[in-house]
Amino acid sequence: MLTSSDLRELTVEQLDTKLAELREERFKLRFRSATESIENPMQFRALRRDTARVLTILGEKRRKA
């Protein structure tokens, strides 16, 4: 799980990269859950919340610039 303080230290480019990674990971998890059962369904919630956290901080940084 990502923390807000750690994310605030990253640059906009790094946040964009992190967002792309989270979205890809969520896609893979959705695909895997459709074909087999996953051991921890709470991963969906964690990925969704991490994505929202990154988007929030990314928006804050872009508004400041």
Confidence category of residue 14, pLDDT binned at 50, 70, 90: very high
Please tell me what DSSP assigns to residue 54: H
Considering its fold, how many domains does the chain have in total?
1
Please tell me what DSSP assigns to residue 36: S
pLDDT at 65 over 90: no
pLDDT at 1 over 90: no
Percent helix, strand, coil in the chain, to 5, is 80, 0, 20
**CA–CA gap between residue 52 and residue 43 (Å, rounded):** 14
Q: Which domain holds residue 34?
A: 4-64
- pTM of this prediction? 0.90
Q: Quick: pLDDT tens for 18-60.
A: 999 999 999 999 999 999 998 999 999 999 999 999 999 999 9
